[in-house]
Structure 1
Amino acid sequence: MTTTQPRPTTYTPPAKHAVETDYEQVLDDLSSASVSRNFDPYLDIDWDAPHMAVVPDDPRWILSSTVDPIGRHPWYQALPEEKQIKIGMWRQANVAKVGLQFESILIRGLMQYADRLPNGDKRFRYTTHEAKEECNHTLMFQELVNRIGMETKGMRPWLRRLSPIIPLFSTLTPTVFFFGVLAGEEPIDHIQKDFLRASEDMHPAMSAVMQLHVAEEARHISFAHNHLRTTVPPKGRFAKFLLSIAMPIVMRVLCGAIVVPPKEFEREFDVPREVLNEIFWDSPQSAAFLAGVFGDVRMLAEQCGLMNPVARRVWRALGIDGRASRYRSEPAYTAS
């Protein structure tokens, strides 16, 4: 499988004053949008409507054979429908739980970051808006988990144990923290957009949650991209070199921790180890999915001056290299 698009040229940052002016305007626009277009999961989702009920043996919980990495594997497709439904419900509940846990880490980090900002800094208002929106997302995700009724743990155990420490990076090394923000937001956003584009017969509770989350997450991802494009290029050569190596490592480690189900999934459903390895990430399809998740981040790395020859080798060694997106949220394009 080969890509047909040329690699973008190296990003040349504009003058410092122009960057600062543009960034200030972006912060104003994002803050205004947070006020004029925001959602409340208990006002905008009709949880108690009859069509939203979670009922036994509903085939709409069967995982997508075109989008979900588990759903497209022959092992899953060969299972009886009853077990496919149960796995699908567990999988979707666990994805929601992971989203909740990630948002919780992000909220704590954003509030610590905002606490260190000086009076008058426009980042304070936007990051606080974002934290408020993420609080609504945690309510929404937990409501979905509760209604599905599956007992799921969410993130892998090591990440759950580290979760109290990760927010500290927002003040110790803010750039790496925002790498981590994108490492969590980009895969979740990518997967949810793929589901929504596929227009398959999803359960309405799932589609409502995804639509609301994708709508607000666009702002959050836009902030992280603009923040890094503004703050990274002025750094010294050695600092940027270290960041260029850290960026793909953070992306790969956190993507695996967030996307791959915890050990409980393997035990609960007797999933053969070789099947799980194929799903994440040994098959050509799963490898293409992993690389495709980070097209926007590779574009950002180019724009920030973080895609040097050594960094390219790290991206390639981690299996997350490929064509950079030409614009944010560009659908993955490959040609055989």
Structure 2
Amino acid sequence: MTSAPETAADREHDRRVADRSAYEAVVERLSKASVDRHWEPYVDIPWDDEDFLVVQDDPRWELPEVDRLGGHPWYRAQPPEVRARMGLWRVATAMKIGLQFENLLKRGLLNYAYRLPNGSPEFRYVYHETIEEGHHGMMFQEFVNRTGLPIRGMPRHLSLIAQITPWIPLISTELFFVFVLGGEDPIDHIQRRTLRNGAVRHPLEESIMRIHVAEEARHISFARHYLRRRVPRMPRHRRFVLGLVSPVVLGIMVRIMLSPPGAMIKAFGIPDRVVRDVYTHNPAMVQEIRDSIGKTRELCAELGMANAVQRGVWRAMSIWDAPAGTARS
């Protein structure tokens, strides 16, 4: 007796099963990596070692000349202790904004996990990530506390608006993980480049940065794999809307992460002309903003979320750049 010939529906079913199996294998691998390689901020960082102490006028906090602000004549003309304090302020602000973002992220992840069914491999991974983000928050806040500086983090109006973020998974998990990449990719881009260039001079900052980069690699990987699996299965109209909203979310997030801290500008009396030279009217800064979300932009294009209409929104947010290997349009 011969078996019935395989139909197109059979082949599609087999493909979906294989795709699901491959996706679950990735999630399980990430969960295992969280067990095999993780850090405890109050065990693995020697906070009280003499070389790790945070002192405001420590010259190791000075911004290097290759830094846009660090190389500006106005900054170079400041007394050494002011240059050091300014560099420390900027590092501490980045950490404060990072822990605020990760606070929103943790609450959103838990809302996502709350509705997962029994047996879901995502549940275990999401709890691993939540624990790691909790450690990052403690690590960042400990650093901020030790600076003795009045660091606020996000501007108050943005902080209030951001409180809607943890509820996004109840509306669209796909949009939530776009938000995740919007916060994680820019910082990962900057930190990897900074470590690669040897621009970090204080061992405490370097230790925190290396831990963060290592664990965030898993978080970014999960978000990308999740979107690659989910977005192609979305109804066309929902995918179109996601492609319109994503560049708005990414454009806002990257500027929150990379913009100069207003409180620092005010505290040190940085002149408007310097802010323009270094940040707001600097073509290199504009390109850095684009580059820092380059991988997420390429992912959106790969997933069919960068058609002519959607690219218009990317351009309006000043974050469009043609993916590698394609013509600029």
Q: What is residue 5 of structure 1 aligned with on the other side? A: none
Q: Is the 8 A contact 1:178 1:224 kept in 2?
A: yes
Q: 1:240 to 1:83 in 2, by over 3 A?
A: same
CA drift of 1:56 comes to 4.3
Q: What is residue 18 of structure 1 aligned with on the other side? A: 18
Secondary structure at 1:271 match in 2: coil
Larger Rg: 2
Q: 1:74 to 1:250 in 2, by over 3 A?
A: farther
Q: Is the 8 A contact 1:295 1:325 kept in 2?
A: no
Secondary structure at 1:165 match in 2: helix
Distance in 2 (CA, whole Å) between partners of 1:291 and 1:188 is 13
Q: 1:116 to 1:62 in 2, by over 3 A?
A: same
Q: 1:140-191 CA distances to partner (integer Å, 9 max, x unpaired)?
A: 0011111122110011222211333210112222111111111110111111
Q: Is the 8 A contact 1:179 1:247 kept in 2?
A: yes
- 2:137 matches 1:112: no
- 2:328 matches 1:322: no
CA drift of 1:88 comes to 0.7
Which one has the bigger helix percentage?
2
Q: Is the 8 A contact 1:278 1:286 kept in 2?
A: no
CA drift of 1:72 comes to 4.0
CA drift of 1:273 comes to 2.9
Q: Is the 8 A contact 2:56 2:85 kept in 1?
A: no
Q: 1:47 to 1:121 in 2, by over 3 A?
A: same
Q: 1:235-293 CA distances to partner (integer Å, 9 max, x unpaired)?
A: 12211111111111110111112222443222211122343244333211111111110
Q: What is residue 185 of structure 2 aligned with on the other side? A: 186
Q: Is the 8 A contact 1:89 1:148 kept in 2?
A: yes
Distance in 1 (CA, whole Å) between partners of 2:150 and 2:97 is 13
Q: What is residue 64 of structure 2 aligned with on the other side? A: 64
Distance in 1 (CA, whole Å) between partners of 2:73 and 2:137 is 33
Q: What is residue 29 of structure 2 aligned with on the other side? A: 29
Q: What is residue 165 of structure 1 aligned with on the other side? A: 164
RMSD value over aligned CA atoms?
1.8
Is there any run of 5+ residues in structure 1 with no aligned partner, and where? 1-13, 327-336
Q: Is the 8 A contact 2:93 2:153 kept in 1?
A: yes
Q: 1:276-335 CA distances to partner (integer Å, 9 max, x unpaired)?
A: 244333211111111110111122112211121222222223221224369xxxxxxxxx
Name whichever of 28-37 and 199-208 sits farther off. 199-208
Distance in 1 (CA, whole Å) between partners of 2:63 and 2:19 is 44
Which has the higher relative contact order, 1 or 2, with Cα contacts under 8 A spaced 6 or more apart?
1
Q: 1:121-151 CA distances to partner (integer Å, 9 max, x unpaired)?
A: 1111101110000000001001111112211
Q: What is residue 262 of structure 2 aligned with on the other side? A: 263
> Superposition pairs for residues 254-333 of structure 1, below 5 Å?
254-324=253-323
CA drift of 1:64 comes to 3.2
Q: 1:19 to 1:277 in 2, by over 3 A?
A: farther
Aligned length: 312
- 2:221 matches 1:222: yes
Name whichever of 232-241 and 253-262 sits farther off. 253-262
> Superposition pairs for residues 71-150 of structure 1, below 5 Å?
71-150=70-149
Q: 1:318 to 1:72 in 2, by over 3 A?
A: farther
Show structure 1 runs of 4+ deviating over 6 A: none
Q: 1:69-125 CA distances to partner (integer Å, 9 max, x unpaired)?
A: 433444323333222111111111111111111111111110111001111111111
